[in-house]
Amino acid sequence: MGDHTVDICNDWNGTKGDKVTFVNNTKGNCKITQDDSSPWPFKDGPPIPATGSIPPGGTATTHLKNPLADGKYPYDVDCCKSETPKNVTVP
């Protein structure tokens, strides 16, 4: 298992069970939510964090589910300039 530190507005690659720390580098509060009916790839949530939001400069840590099938998993982040879903690709 690996540890990832990810800018909250970036796509990234991970492996099932990996730890991820999302870093909020925006000027607003952030919440990570499920993208429509797409499968939720994280052990915690949705949403992340469970209550409130991630403040500017703050972090939120979770893990990818294990087991988790290979594929691309979209999720939404409400504070990013681009409104398109972010993706984690496994593996």
**pLDDT tens, 41-91?**
999 999 999 999 999 999 999 999 999 999 999 999 999 998 899 999 999
47 vs 44: CA distance, rounded Å: 8
- DSSP letter (8 states) at residue 48: B
Q: Cα separation of 39 and 2, whole Å? A: 21
Report if residue 18 sits inside a domain.
yes
Q: Is residue 89 part of a domain?
A: no
**pTM, entire model:** 0.96
Specify which residues 74 forms β-bridges with: 87
Residue 8 inside a domain? The answer is: yes
CATH number of the CATH domain containing 40: 2.60.40
* 87 within some domain: no
Q: How many domains does the chain have?
A: 1
Residue 66 lies in a domain: yes
Number of Cβ within a 10 Å radius of residue 32: 25
Backbone angles phi, psi at 37, to 5 degrees: -100, 15
